[in-house]
Structure formats: structure tokens, C-alpha cells
């Protein structure tokens, strides 16, 4: 990974964030303090900051017949990683806000996608492309 991203995001409870990001998603934990925790999300640095008044979805936009939550963040995985994660999340009993499916089937940018919420109501999207050259297809 040439340029891993850094994302800081609000959570209402650090222990719940540790259980979800570390336990359910399998992210290793980096540095932390009483008010934040670093996680390794597929090589990217995400930081859960304690900020109980700033969590959750603020809007949705219609995409491919679904209400996509805004804001959201996530990672583009390989198709194999995407299927493995979807199965791990199902096994953990995670409730999807948009179930895993193939979006834009047969069109430019066809992709596997799924949306879920962390315990603080932050929306995450994990996606994969059978053909990664389609990531920015119009």
C-alpha cells in the first residue's frame, strides 16, 4: 500500500469501539489514550475519538435503489476478502443496513458492496470490484 489513509471519527464509547473494530472487524490496535484509539483497518490508520455528541448518520442519498448513509467510510477489498468479511460479519450477527450484494450489475463500476453501523452509529461500507480497473469507471 503506497499511501495509507488516516481517518479520525467520533465514537460514543471506546470499549464498544474496541469490541467492534478489534473483535468483529479484526483490526489490530495501535496507540491509545483515555480519549482515542488507533486501529489498523486493512493497512489504513483509523482513529476512534471519544465524542458522544457527534456520532451517527446525518443523511442518506439514493443509490441503486438503496438509501446510502452519509457520511460513511470503508475500504475497497479484493473480492475474496469481501466475501470473507461478509461471512465473518454474518457469523458475528452484525445487522447490515444494506445487505451484501452486487451493485451496478452489468454496468461500468460493477461492485460488491455492503453497509453496516458500528456501535456508535457510524456507517461503514466495504466494497470489491471483480475488475479493479472499474473503480473510477463512468
Is residue 18 domain-resident?
yes
Residues 87, 20 share a domain: no
Is residue 1 domain-resident?
no
Residues 65, 119 share a domain: yes
Low-confidence ranges of the chain (pLDDT < 70): 1
| Rounded Cα gap, residues 7 and 9, in angstroms | 6
If residue 90 lies in a helix (H) or strand (E), which one and from where to where?
helix 79-91
Is residue 20 domain-resident?
yes
User: How much is the pLDDT for 138?
Assistant: 86
Residues 69, 34 share a domain: no
Q: What's the structural domain count of the chain?
A: 2
b/e code 117-130 from CB counts within 10 Å (16+ = b): bbbbebbbbbbbbe
| Rounded Cα gap, residues 55 and 28, in angstroms | 22
Residues 118, 77 share a domain: yes
| CATH classification of the domain holding 39 | 3.10.180.10
User: How much is the pLDDT for 128?
Assistant: 98
Range of the domain at 112: 59-134
| Rounded Cα gap, residues 97 and 36, in angstroms | 26
Q: Locate cell 475500504: which residue?
A: 75
Is residue 112 domain-resident?
yes
pTM of the model: 0.93
Residues 126, 72 share a domain: yes
CA 127 to chain centre: 9
Pairing mode, if any, of strands 72-77 and 123-128?
parallel
User: How much is the pLDDT for 6?
Assistant: 97
Residues 75, 14 share a domain: no
Residues 85, 39 share a domain: no
Amino acid at each position: 500500500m503506497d499511501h495509507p489513509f488516516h481517518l479520525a471519527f467520533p465514537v460514543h464509547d471506546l470499549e464498544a469501539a474496541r469490541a467492534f473494530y478489534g473483535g468483529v472487524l479484526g483490526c489490530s490496535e495501535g496507540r491509545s489514550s483515555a480519549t482515542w484509539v488507533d486501529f489498523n483497518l486493512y493497512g489504513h490508520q483509523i482513529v476512534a475519538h471519544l465524542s458522544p455528541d457527534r456520532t451517527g448518520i446525518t443523511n442518506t442519498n439514493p443509490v441503486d435503489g438503496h438509501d446510502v448513509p452519509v457520511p460513511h467510510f470503508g475500504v475497497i477489498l479484493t473480492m475474496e476478502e469481501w466475501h470473507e468479511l461478509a461471512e465473518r460479519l454474518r457469523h458475528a450477527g452484525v445487522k447490515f443496513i444494506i445487505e451484501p450484494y452486487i451493485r451496478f450489475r452489468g454496468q461500468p463500476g460493477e461492485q460488491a458492496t455492503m453497509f453496516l453501523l458500528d456501535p456508535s452509529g457510524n456507517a461503514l461500507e466495504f466494497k470489491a470490484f471483480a475488475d479493479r480497473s472499474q473503480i473510477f469507471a463512468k
